[in-house]
Amino acid sequence: MKKKAAIGIDIGGTNIVIGFADIDGNTLDKVSFKTASYEKVEDFIVKVSQEINNMVLDNNDMYQIIGVGIGAPNGNYYKGTIEFAPNLPWKGTIYLAELIESKVNMPVVLTNDANAAAIGEMVYGGAKNMKDFLVITLGTGLGSGFVANGELIYGHDGFAGELGHIIATDNGRECGCGRKGCLETYVSATGIKRTVFEFMSDYNYKSDLRDMSFHEVNSKIIYEKALEGDEVCIRAFDYTANVLGRKLADAVAITSPEAIFIFGGLAKAGGLIIDATKKYMEESLLAIFKNKIKVLPSALDENNAAILGAAALAFQNFKE
């Protein structure tokens, strides 16, 4: 019998990656291209369908390919749409699953990128035997995927899991969503940068970052400087973990997960973010939840995680 495999697609603001993954979580082929090269969604559909059909031709002999899974910003699981994604060139509502399905001879399923990450963690990663957990993705923004009773919470409209848009501070920082004080304006690669610039105003600590512009600074530099002992950067990490820890305590009160997985660039800061978040979360938890909820880095290899999440979505939806 042929081994089962699926095609996973990760649509990001910068890159689009298409990968071929088997049911054991091995990523076999992978192609990637720039999102900005496909300003018209029609051109993107042609390109992505070609790549899918090529992968099918290349692997059809060896594998039973069950379908295509897609993780995309503002992706809607029920409708297979991408809706009003601010960081993609395609405006309005795009019926992406349907459009691709019409060009390739197999089923296509789509969800938002953080939900795909949660399914990837459940199928291939650290949540294999868990029925209740959540995944936080820290990138430009903060994404989340909640799993309860072994199933992803899509909500009645397919848009559940927007933990990045709960309010961390009333009348706080301006958010891209048009409101103020959303969690992701504090906790994300962008959020920690904003904190660094706030702290350069609040404190008089020397910092190499005082010689850099807002556009030059990024979370990787903040991490490196923190390791070198830069007090502004150390405090920015501590503050980020504090805000995240307190808001995770609220999320725990709602869904009581066994574990919280943290994924993305910032998660690589390890103790500075994971351990500190856990500490602040514990301080804020209701007594019945104390000392029993794990905060862990994602167990998926970051290079393939998005592809594996998307492929896992296909495996979950197309069992046969």
Residues that bind a copy of itself (CB under 8 A): 74, 83-84, 130-133, 144, 146, 148-149, 151, 153-163, 165-167, 170, 177-179, 246, 249-251, 253-258, 284, 286-289, 292
User: What backbone torsions phi and psi does residue 98 show, to the nearest 5 degrees?
Assistant: -60, -45
Nearer to a copy of itself, 63 or 90 (CB): 90
How near is the Cβ of 195 to a copy of itself at its closest, in Å?
A: 17
3-state secondary structure of 5: strand
Nearer to a copy of itself, 166 or 299 (CB): 166
Nearer to a copy of itself, 15 or 255 (CB): 255
Nearer to a copy of itself, 31 or 166 (CB): 166
Q: How many CA atoms lie within 13 A of 168 on its CB side?
A: 28
How near is the Cβ of 108 to a copy of itself at its closest, in Å?
A: 22
Comparing CA positions, the residue from 97, 101, 102, 104 lying closest to residue 55 is: 104
Nearer to a copy of itself, 30 or 246 (CB): 246
- DSSP one-letter code for 273: T
How near is the Cβ of 234 to a copy of itself at its closest, in Å?
A: 23
Strand positions, DSSP E, 56-105: 63-72, 75-76, 81-83, 93-94
How near is the Cβ of 18 to a copy of itself at its closest, in Å?
A: 27
Going across the sheet that includes 93-94, the strands are 75-76, 81-83, 93-94
Q: Note the helical H segments in 39-166.
A: 41-59, 96-101, 113-123
Q: Which helix H or strand E contains 260, and what residues bound it? A: strand 259-263
How near is the Cβ of 156 to a copy of itself at its closest, in Å?
A: 4
